[in-house]
Amino acid sequence: MAERGSASRVAELRAYRALLGAQARSQAAYRTSFVVDLVGNVGATVFDVVTVLVIFGVTRELGGFTLRETLVVVGLSSCGFATADLLVGNIERLPRYVRTGLFDAVLVRPLGALPQLLLMDLPLRKLSRAVFGLAVLLFALVSAGIDWTPGRVALAVVAPLAAVVFFGSVFVLTATVSFYWVDSGELANAVTYGGRDFTSYPVTVYGGWFRALFAYGMGFAFVSYHPALALLGRADPLGLPPWTGWAAPGVAVVAAALATLAWRVGVRHYRSTGS
């Protein structure tokens, strides 16, 4: 029984791989525009980094952090967001999938609806952004003068992955709102892209209820700020205990669990279209 279970698991993974292959071939059908997109897509992520550099052109510290330290925050954020955007970002097109009937089509197939949608519409052109984000992170980690311990090496690997999971969960959670409220796109963007911008700077630059809401209400502080503190070996100027720097994976798991739950409830509430 267990053997049969794992065999069907393998067959299922093979099915997902086939979907991914089909998506790659579909995009290859428009090769020129694909290359243009690939190049053009780096733009937005580069802009995030350039913004930080410009700010440091007029100040030597930002919220108590130097340029090199801030770059670790930026790197974690860019790498995490760009990769999540590549893998999960297109779920914000859920209202379109509903309208075109794609959502009905995937629901009558013997595979999970969410992975099917993600693979069938994987925006491979966003690959360039993810690579750029990773490059920024690597550069930041090398140049920040980190005192490397085995724990910090592990965190340097796990924290970006946790950031990917966290942003991915945010994408799914906000998209799920459109099951109930079709015109929720603007609100969803405010949270996802707002979250990305928020995580590009040390949370010390923000203040008041805004910081409380985004950093701890929604958990964005654990994406880049707290892991960066732990990597840099700095105490939190806001006074949170050192273990918060290592909490990123736990926070990501909670976010993923919430997103999965919301997705399942959303699918049950799904109303389909008229015909």
Partner 1 sequence: MSVIEMDGLRKEFTVRVKAGPLRREKRTVTAVDGVDLRVERGEMLGYIGPNGAGKSTTLKMLTGVLTPSAGRARVCGLRPVADRTRLALRIGVVFGQRSQLWWDLPLRDSFDLLRHVYRVPAGAHAARLARCRELLDLDGFLDIPVRQLSLGQRMRGELTAALLHGPEVLFLDEPTIGLDVVSKQAVRGFLAELGRAGDTTLVLTTHDLADIERLCRRLVVIDHGRVVHDGSIAELHRRYGSRRMVVAELDVALPEPPVLPGAPVQRVEADGRRLVFALERASVAEVVAGLAGLTTLRDISIVEPDIEEVVTRLYRAPAGGAASAVTGAP
By the criterion CB under 8 A, which residues form the site for partner 1?
A: 8, 11-12, 14-15, 17-19, 22, 25-26, 29-30, 100-102, 104-105, 107-112, 268-272, 274-275
User: What distance in Å separates the CA atoms of residue 210 and residue 190, rounded to the nearest whole number?
Assistant: 13
Least distance between partner 1 and beta carbon 13 (Å):
10
Least distance between partner 1 and beta carbon 122 (Å):
13
| 38: number of Cβ within 10 Å | 16
Token pair of 258 as six digits: 């919430």
Q: Which is nearer to partner 1, 22 or 157 (CB)?
A: 22
Q: Which is nearer to partner 1, 112 or 237 (CB)?
A: 112
Least distance between partner 1 and beta carbon 20 (Å):
11
| Chain centre distance of CA 252 | 10
Least distance between partner 1 and beta carbon 105 (Å):
5
Least distance between partner 1 and beta carbon 27 (Å):
8
Give every CB contact of residue 73 below 8 A, 6+ residues apart in sequence.
Answer: 65, 199, 200, 201, 202, 224, 225, 228
Q: Which is nearer to partner 1, 55 or 102 (CB)?
A: 102
Q: Which is nearer to partner 1, 12 or 197 (CB)?
A: 12
Q: Which is nearer to partner 1, 6 or 275 (CB)?
A: 275
Q: Are 184 and 198 in contact (CB under 8 A)?
A: no
Long-range Cβ pairs for the range 256-262 (8 Å, 24+): 256/165, 256/166, 256/168, 256/169, 258/169, 258/173, 259/168, 259/169, 259/170, 259/172, 259/173, 259/176, 260/172, 262/172, 262/173, 262/176
